[in-house]
Structure 1
Amino acid sequence: MLVCSCNFITAKEIEDTIVALLDEDCWQLIVPSKVYHAMAKRGRCCGCFPNVVDIIIRTTERYHLEHPSTEAEMFDFMSRLKRFHEEQRRADIERRQKSHRAA
């Protein structure tokens, strides 16, 4: 099925790219722009992005059902997520402080 008529990308190509990204890191956040970047394409009209999101969700769910995770992998993901949130929070605080400086 043709998903993106601007770039002539099929659902199978998108699914294969998503699986390849998940093989690299099964807990990464995958968004349409990341999929297109991995395929060396770019969104032109971006009308296909809602369909790509549906494919991402469906493919990711199927991937995780076929590849059961261990407790260690889940814990590693949660610690990475917590670290990411702390770093983003620190960056927000630093940004606010810098913007309130007089000089």
Structure 2
Amino acid sequence: MIVCHCTGITDRDIHAAIDWMRQADPETIITPGKIYRALGRSADCGGCLPLFLDTMRGNDNLEVPRNLRGLRRAATSEDANEGR
């Protein structure tokens, strides 16, 4: 299925890029921008982004590496007492 008509990216392209990136670096954070770059393309109008993200979320390899989970919460709770 074509996900991005502007650049011709399909759901298979997205899944292949995610799988390739996860295999190359198990600890990487995978973003839409990284997928576009891995496919040698760049975003155009952004109309595909909701479908692009849904397709990404459907890939089991998208998961955030265990050692990087909860970093936002940790930073937020550390910053909570600043300025008091």
Count of paired positions:
72
The reply to whether residue 47 of structure 1 matches residue 75 of structure 2 is: no
Unaligned runs of 5+ in 1: 66-72, 90-103
Q: Is the 8 A contact 1:17 1:35 kept in 2?
A: yes
**Secondary structure of 2:58 counterpart:** helix
The reply to whether residue 31 of structure 1 matches residue 14 of structure 2 is: no
**1:41 positional shift:** 0.1
Q: Is the 8 A contact 1:2 1:9 kept in 2?
A: yes
TM-score, normalised relative to structure 2: 0.69
Structure 1 stretch displaced more, 12-21 or 47-56: 47-56
Aligned to 2:17: 17
The letter for the 2-side match of 1:41 is: R
Q: Distance in 2 between matches of 1:52 and 1:37?
A: 14
Q: Distance in 2 between matches of 1:7 and 1:33?
A: 13
The letter for the 2-side match of 1:63 is: N
Instruction: Kindly report structure 1 stretches of 4+ aligned residues shifted beyond 6 Å.
Output: none
Q: RMSD between aligned alpha carbons?
A: 2.7
Unaligned runs of 5+ in 2: 80-84
Look at both structures and tell me which one has the larger radius of gyration over its CA atoms: 1
Change in CA separation of 1:45 and 1:22 when aligned onto 2, cut-off 3 Å: same
TM-score, normalised relative to structure 1: 0.58
Percent identity between matched residues is: 28
**1:27 positional shift:** 3.0
**1:49 positional shift:** 1.5
CA deviations 1:8-28 (Å, max 9, x no partner) are: 111101110111011112232
The answer to which structure, 1 or 2, has the higher relative contact order (CA under 8 A, 6+ apart) is 2
